[in-house]
Amino acid sequence: MDFSFILFFIVLAIVGVALSIYFERQRTKKLEAIAADLNLEFYKNGNGQVMGLVHDFQLFSRGRNRRVRNLIQGQVEEAFVAIFDYLYTTGSGKNSHTHSQTVILLRSDRLQMPKFSLYPENLFHKMGDFLGYHDIDFTSYPEFSSRYLLRGEDEASIRKAFHSEAIAFYEDSRGLCTEASDSRLIFYRASAKVPLEEMHSFLSVGMKVLRLFAKF
C-alpha cells in the first residue's frame, strides 16, 4: 500500500481532531459570555451539583464516561435553571459512540410532577408496546400519541399533568425528550446540541414548559 495514501488519512484525522477541539473551545468561550449576559453562573466542566439532581432520570443512566460540560446555572424567575452539554459513551472499540446533547433542568416548588418519561416514538417503541411495554396514549389526541412514547407508573396523575395546552405544545415541538419527577423536569433533543444563536430561545422554551406544567 502506498505510504503517502496512509499518511494522507493520518493527517486528515489529526486535522479533524484539531478542528473539533478548536470549535469546542470556541463554544465554551461563547457560552461563558452568554452566561454573563444572563447574569448566571458558568462552569466549564460542571460543578457536581447538577448530576446529583438528575441521576435518577433515564438519560443519566445510559452508557459510561458520563460528563457535564459548559454548565450555565442560576435562578430565573421562580426556578433554579441549569443548561448544559451532556455527554456519554456507548459501545466499545470501533463501535463506540459518544452521544452529546444540550439539556435544560428546571427545579421549582411550582412543579409537583408525577415521574414520567416522554420520547419521540419510533418503530422499536411501537414493537415494545406490542410486546407489553405500556405507552400512555390519549384517544382525544391521536397526533400526540402517534408521535410520542409516554411512560410512567402513576398513569392517572400523568394524564392529569398532560392537559390540552401541554399536549398542544408537544405536537408543535417535534423531537423533544422530557423527563420529570417531583419538583424537577429536564428536556432535550437526543444527540443534538443547541446552537449558540438559539441558546436564549432555548431558555425561553424552558420557562414556557415550566409554566405549562406548573398548572398541573
Give pLDDT tens digits along the chain (216 positions): 566 656 655 555 565 555 555 667 888 999 999 999 999 999 999 888 899 999 999 999 999 999 999 999 999 988 999 999 999 999 888 788 889 999 999 999 999 999 999 999 865 545 555 545 678 999 999 999 999 999 999 999 999 999 999 999 999 988 899 999 999 999 999 889 999 999 999 999 999 999 999 976
C-alpha cell of 168?
Answer: 398542544
- Residue 214, judged by CB atoms within 10 A of its CB (0-12, 13-18, 19+), counts as middle
Distances (CA, A) of 11 to 6, 14, 22, 96, 166: 9, 5, 16, 22, 50
pLDDT of residue 119: 93
**Which phi and psi (to 5°) does residue 132 adopt?**
115, 5
Q: Output the pLDDT for position 175.
A: 87
pLDDT value, residue 82: 97
